[in-house]
Each structure stands twice: as structure tokens, then as C-alpha cells.
């Protein structure tokens, strides 16, 4: 498995409304079992509008959205201009291939916060409303022809705490056998 000794938080963002993009902050506070304090998507049960419409009692496996900043660089080479928070993530990372982590991986962030990865973000049409063609740019196919979703990962807060840009991230893999990330 890859070494993540230089993994860190590049940016933190939140939005009090169900807007597509989130807004850069000096820090966010993660609350155990809830998500980012003050964020519209925080809660014990689903908060994303489409999921609330389907079944509002389901547990929220999407309390925190994380995207690796390297994705923005990749998108830049394809003519897109995307910066931290604009794709709706709470935490923008550097130095971690988030998409390669197995489900159940725990990210220890800063001094206290722990986020457990639950699955992949499923890109939606809002990406194309933000920048035409962005949705297809964050979808790819692997060597076996399987769909690859590159719009980040979702997680739940296992332990609360403050998260700031520059905080170190420690990666704790779950016990084997590893479960591949699937959309949540």
C-alpha cells in the first residue's frame, strides 16, 4: 500500500444551505455522528435532497465529503478551472489517493478528528451546471471497462474535532479483506 506520510488538509469548506459549492473557512469543526458543524449536509440521517425524498430515515453515510486536490490539477489540464470547495467538498486533501482507499479506512485528521470512508461520491448533473462537461471529466473507465467515479469520497465522523488547512492526515486501513469503495 502507498505511504501517506505527507498527507495533509489543503482546504476546509462548508455551506449552511444546500448549494452546490461550499465556502472556504479558516477551520471547521467535525461533530461525531453528525458531520461538519453548520453544514447543510450534516446530520445523523440523510440530508441530501434526493435521499431525503426517497427515505428521510436512512443513516447519513455522506456526513463529510473529501476530494483530493490533485483532481483539480488533472481537471486543469483538461481546460477546467476548479478550486477547493467548488465541487461541494468539506475537506480538500493533498498527498492521498482517496479513490484507492478501501471502505472503512479511517482518516485521523489534526489532533482529534477521525473520518471513516463510507464510499464514493456519485457525480451528478449539477457538475455540468457548474461547468459544462465537468461531469464527464470526473468519470472514467478502468482497464476492465468499469466506471471510475473521481469526484471524491464520502465519510462519517467517528471522532469530532477541529480541522484546519495544513493539518496532517494519518491513514488507518481497516482489517483485510479490503472492501472496494462503491457509490453511497
Into how many domains does the chain fold? 1
The whole-angstrom separation of Cα 160 and Cα 146 is: 35
The verdict on residue 3 lying in a domain is no
Q: What is the CATH number of the domain that holds 143?
A: 2.40.33.20
The verdict on residue 164 lying in a domain is yes
Given a cut of 80, whether residue 49 has pLDDT beyond it is: no
Domain holding 67, by residue range, is 8-172
The whole-angstrom separation of Cα 58 and Cα 39 is: 18
Give pLDDT tens digits for 54-68: 888 899 999 999 999
The verdict on residue 68 lying in a domain is yes
How distant is the alpha carbon of residue 21 from its chain centre?
Answer: 13
CB crowding 167-176: b at 16 or more within 10 Å, else e: bebebeeeee
User: Going by C-beta distance under 8 Å and a sequence separation of 6 or more, which residues neighbour residue 142?
Assistant: 148
CB crowding 111-129: b at 16 or more within 10 Å, else e: eebbbbbbbbbebeeebee
Among the residue ranges 20-29, 40-49, 173-182, the one predicted with the least confidence is 40-49
The verdict on residue 126 lying in a domain is yes
The verdict on residue 2 lying in a domain is no
Give pLDDT tens digits for 74-95: 999 999 999 999 999 999 999 9
The whole-angstrom separation of Cα 141 and Cα 134 is: 15
Give pLDDT tens digits for 10-33: 999 999 999 899 999 999 999 999
The verdict on residue 91 lying in a domain is yes
Residue 159 burial class via C-beta count within 10 angstroms: exposed 0-12, middle 13-18, buried 19 and up: middle
Amino acid at each position: 500500500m502507498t505511504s501517506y506520510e505527507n498527507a495533509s488538509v489543503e482546504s476546509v469548506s462548508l455551506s449552511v444551505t444546500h448549494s452546490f459549492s461550499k465556502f472556504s473557512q479558516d477551520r471547521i469543526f467535525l461533530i461525531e455522528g453528525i458531520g461538519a458543524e453548520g453544514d447543510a449536509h450534516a446530520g445523523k440521517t440523510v440530508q441530501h435532497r434526493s435521499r431525503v425524498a426517497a427515505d428521510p430515515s436512512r443513516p447519513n453515510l455522506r456526513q463529510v465529503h473529501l476530494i483530493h486536490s490533485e483532481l483539480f490539477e488533472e481537471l486543469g489540464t483538461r481546460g477546467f478551472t476548479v478550486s477547493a470547495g467548488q465541487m461541494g467538498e468539506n475537506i480538500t486533501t493533498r498527498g492521498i489517493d482517496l479513490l484507492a482507499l478501501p471502505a472503512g479506512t479511517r482518516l485521523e485528521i489534526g489532533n482529534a478528528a477521525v473520518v471513516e470512508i463510507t464510499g464514493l461520491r456519485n457525480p451528478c448533473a449539477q457538475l455540468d451546471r457548474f461547468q459544462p462537461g465537468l461531469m464527464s471529466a470526473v468519470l472514467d473507465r478502468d482497464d476492465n471497462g468499469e466506471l471510475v467515479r473521481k469526484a471524491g469520497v464520502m465519510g462519517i465522523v467517528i471522532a469530532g474535532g477541529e480541522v484546519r488547512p495544513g493539518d496532517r492526515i494519518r491513514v488507518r486501513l481497516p482489517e483485510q479483506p479490503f472492501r472496494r469503495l462503491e457509490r453511497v
